[in-house]
Amino acid sequence: MNTIGHVFRVLSYGESHGPVVGCVIEGCPAGLNLNLREIQDAVNRRKTAQTAFSSSRREDDHIEILSGVYNNITLGSPIAIQIKNSDAHSSDYETLKDVYRPGHADYTYHVKYGLRDHRGGGRSSIRITAPLVAAGDVARQLVQSLHVVDVKAYVIQIGDIRIPLDATLSLEQINENEFRCPHAETAQRFNSLIEKTKVEGETLGGIIQCTISGLPAGIGEPVFQKLHAQLGHAMLNINTVKGVEFGDGFAIASLRGSDANDIFGFNEKGVYTETNHSGGLLGGISNGQPISFNVAFKPISSIQKTQQTITTSGEQVDLRIGGRHDVCAVPRAVPIVEAYTNILLADNILLSRLNKL
């Protein structure tokens, strides 16, 4: 499927090396005064060629809003956002036309459709997320007009290096280093690891942590549309994501019930919990505490080392992938995680309002 959301819906279209990538937003209420500069800034944060370890593909990623907005005000009609592809080197992929690249979606796309767009991965490319980040910022601005909600994503692990559990995080530092890491010492260690990995012709994965603060209690649906299920579904649709955990995640499985339960309290602000093992969610519905989750990314599959694989006819070949690829794409995925989160929050907040009519 190419659509995310129910009330606030976003349809994705385009391919990595096609003329454009874009999206159409449906369900955004009329009268929202959009800050177009902030939308463009969000898209710019995920651009390639901004670090020594990201792909050297250079796209200006200028957003074009084709419909649904007049004088920066949403009209209530579908909002179409388009970004042109201007630096696609399709010739880099010509030798891969009949080859199944290890770790990529080449084989599965071929089996499903009987053909595939080999140019940069076509629809399976991370390139298609550029306009979705724009849609995510529209969603963020909508959410901010309704509630004071703050979504912050940042890198806590690259390869086998992770921010120490007892470290003090400085969220103000997230955009002050190219790793989008809120811990300066760990960011320096990331740099050394990535430099070493690049020389070896290898790639690295990592973990992004995302926190949602300020979301009121009561957002989310029971049974099949639990808020964490929707967020997990969205995160698992980001390229190379292999795992999502909320609150204490898998570690909670080793606790006893008395240790895992979050005890309720009451103060001048209302109901709260003394701990937050559940990650701000109970029964799939927000409980008013910060929502926290981790997203695990596998290493980028396009490595510079020679690998064995097969062609579409079953012939074994040695493959060394050329072209322009990330050594580690995890920092560049931070705005994608935030965008998908904001889309889901906008959708659920609007749905919650409909439930109370």
CA neighbor of 299 nearest in space, from 319, 327, 341 = 327
Tell me the residue type at 247.
G
Q: What is the pLDDT of residues 138-172, one digit of tens each?
A: 999 999 999 999 999 999 999 999 999 999 999 98
Q: What is the pLDDT of residue 47?
A: 83
Strands (E), 34-187: 63-67, 69-70, 73-74, 79-84, 150-158, 161-162
CA neighbor of 23 nearest in space, from 69, 75, 66 = 66
Please state the domain extents for the chain: 3-355
Q: What is the pLDDT of residue 90?
A: 64
Q: What is the pLDDT of residues 238-296, one digit of tens each?
A: 999 999 999 999 999 999 999 999 999 999 989 999 999 999 999 999 999 999 999 99
Q: How far apart are the C-alpha atoms of 43 and 336, rounded to whole Å?
A: 9
Q: Which CATH number fits domain 3-355: 3.40.50.1820, 3.40.50.720, 1.20.210.10, 3.60.150.10?
A: 3.60.150.10
